Every structure is written in structure tokens, then in C-alpha cells.
Amino acid sequence: MKVDFATLRFERMQLSDLDAVLAIEQAEYSHPWGRVGFVDSLKNNDNAWVLRNAAGDLLGYFVQMVVVDEMHLLNIAVAGTAQRQGLGKLLLGYAVQQATLLKMTSMLLEVRVSNSPALTLYQSFGFELIARRKNYYQTEQQQREDALILRFALSVQEKHHVAE
């Protein structure tokens, strides 16, 4: 599917989006989130967004959670039919924009060490490796795989001004 960027729109994720979100989630991840995970995020008012085309097709989504002054990117995915067209970068950029609007100091995420496409995207965006979690993810062979923790520093205005 060729994507027309001029017609794309971001919308807050709703419960009514979950069938389409879960279809993408299950197609793209070996260990996908279930419906309960998304429902819990929505109930907790996590920062969850979907990306749609002019026809209303759901092309991707992300879920973020505020932890004090950091935004944690919990989940992000692009529909298989819309991949390799820059939508991952568009979603990530919007996620960073949301974190900036909420005056977060940084954005954190975890990624499988074997997920080269995601690592390439995150590093090209400016995320930096800050830690490694041993045996964090389960693999298809019932093994364990390390997670890399990446951080992106956000430019936020000072909230308080000190009088000189």
C-alpha cells in the first residue's frame, strides 16, 4: 500500500480501535500485547495514539506512559502493508512531540537486541544506549533475549526562573 502522507492523521487511541490495533500487534510481534494490556493503558490514561489514512485505515500506533518527568515508549508498530515508507519515523517523531508538549525531560524505550530495523530507526533519531537488561524478552524458542534501553534527551524550557 502506497501511503499518501498529506492525508495522514493522528488520533487518540480509543477502545473501538483495539481490533485493528491487535491485528497489527499480532502480525508484527512474536510476543504481542493482548487486549488487556491496551485496555489497561487506555484506562490509565497513557498517551496512546493511532495513525490513519484518508480512508480511515489504521496504519500504526504507539503507547507511552509518563513516569515522573520521563516518557516511556511502551509500544509502537506499523502495519505490515505500510512498512518501509517512513511511518515508523513519523510515529516516533509524533511520540517525541507528545513528550515535549508534556514537558518531559527524556524519552526511554526498550528494544530487543535482535531488532535491527528498530535499532536503526531509534539511533538515527538520536536515541542513545544507556543500559542493557539481560534475558528481558522471551523468544520464540522459549529462550531469553536481552533488551537495550535507549534514551532520547528532550529540549524542555525551564519551568522556574531564578531571580538574579
Per-position b or e across 38-57, b if 16+ CB within 10 A of its CB: beebbeeebbbbbbbbeeee
Annotated catalytic residue 61:
no
Q: Which residue among 25, 61, 122, 137 is the active-site one?
A: 122
Q: Quote the strand ranges of 57-160, DSSP E.
A: 58-67, 70-78, 106-112, 128-138, 144-153
Cell numbers representing residue 153 in the block: 534527551
Nearest to 140 by CA among 62, 38, 33, 32: 32
Cell numbers representing residue 17 in the block: 480501535
Q: Which residue among 28, 70, 94, 110 is the active-site one?
A: 110
Alpha carbon distance, N-terminus to C-terminus of the chain: 58
Annotated catalytic residue 29:
no
Active-site residues: which are they?
Answer: 110, 122
